[in-house]
A and B are shown apart, each in its own frame.
Chain A
Amino acid sequence: MKILCFGIAKDITGQDIIQLNESVPENVKDLRQWIESVYPPMSALKSYMVAVNQEYAANGMTIKVSDEIAIIPPVSGG
């Protein structure tokens, strides 16, 4: 499964796409726990959102291996 990283998340993880070959987190909450354990500076961010298939996803949303996941740090467009 691929996890897209943007902005400061790309700096923290060192990748624009994380290839996850081990077992896929079941839901967004588990994904957050996984990414914060592998990349501890992620937990120091004030906040970040997770998008599943280009829609913002709540912690309870389940994840399938075919989903497009993205880490969305605080946005700053405009």
Chain B
Amino acid sequence: MFYTHDSTAFWHGSLAVIPATRGPMRPQNYGSFARQRLSTDGIGSMTLTLTNLVVGSAIRIEVASTGALVTSRTAAGASETFTLDYYAGGNANNDLRIKVRKASGAPFYKPYETQAVLSAAAKSVFVAQILD
């Protein structure tokens, strides 16, 4: 049974509806699909670089509003680069708190904390750790 209906085509990720102006349609030999993103999914990756780190410092990056861990590591060098997902504008997951602490052995530093807002553009944060 054939139905007269508009045809659907995906072109470069866009949905187009072709109105029915001829006879019954029949499948062509192509199709394209794209995975739908949820509003909570990142829309891309960006690079966040922390500079001027004291080697051996503990780094924790968390969502500022919830404290949920994004990533953590120990600084192996003065500069650490993180590849992070960013989100659609206005998403709270773009607002991060960056904690850097080094107090398990001399020299001791005061806890350093700052915030960053993620976007598509790469971001660099200068970490100013103060001796404690």
**A pairs with B:** no
A residues sitting closer than 8 Å to B (CB atoms) are: none
